[in-house]
Amino acid sequence: MQRILRPVICALLVFNCAASAYALDGKTQKNEYWDNGKIRISEKYDNAGTLREEDYYREDGTLEQFMKYDALGHKIGEAYYAENGRLRETADGWAAMRWKYDGDNMVAEGYYGPDGKLKELKQYNDQGDLIAKRYVGVKPDPDEEYAPVPPLAGESNYYYDKYGRLEGSTSIEYDDDIFPILWDLEDRD
């Protein structure tokens, strides 16, 4: 009996220790575990083997950081969470971010606050130059601005080069059509 149980127990320990992978709805998920058996890192891959999601957990099993990728491998979402499961603001002043791409060119990035609301949006041209910066329902940080902050909601400042071509703008707005206004846990699927 002991000869039979020993290989079974060893197989269970190997499966449960360092890392494991299994199929999940046609996708592959790989997990690394803490010594206490709780998941430390979970990576999800699509059918083509491209990393689509990474979840980092604290030793107590609560989610700490989440990252999402598109089919080309670009990071399109990142969020940090407190132990209570709510978004947690980082030292950089944001709790979650989204990125949007046109092919390999990043065309927009959005910053979300700990309340889950979109607070800042940056847009880029195909050369990667910042062409617009919008604040969504929050007062702009004057230390980050290269010209006076627009005094009223909806007002914009536009910046032109020496030939009169538009270089960029800064504005305050209360709605947006590039990213959703609220960060949603559904973004994790």
Report the SS3 class of residue 165.
Answer: coil
- Give the Cα separation of 118 and 100 in Å (integer): 14
pLDDT of residue 187: 55
**119: Cα separation from own chain's centroid:** 14
- Give the Cα separation of 14 and 21 in Å (integer): 12
Does the structure show a pLDDT above 90 at 34? Answer: yes
What CA–CA distances, in Å, run from 136 to 17, 34, 107, 179?
46, 40, 18, 11
- Give the Cα separation of 57 and 35 in Å (integer): 13
Average pLDDT over every residue of 125-144: 73
pLDDT tens digits, one per residue of 60-92: 999 999 999 999 999 999 999 999 999 999 999
- Give the Cα separation of 76 and 58 in Å (integer): 23
Does the structure show a pLDDT above 90 at 26? Answer: no
pTM over 0.95? The answer is no
51 Rama class: left (phi>0) / alpha (psi -120 to 50) / beta: beta
Q: Which of 92, 96, 100 lies closest to 79 in space, CA to CA?
A: 96
- Going from N- to C-terminal start, the domains of the chain cover 62-188
Strand 130-136 to 166-173 pairing = parallel
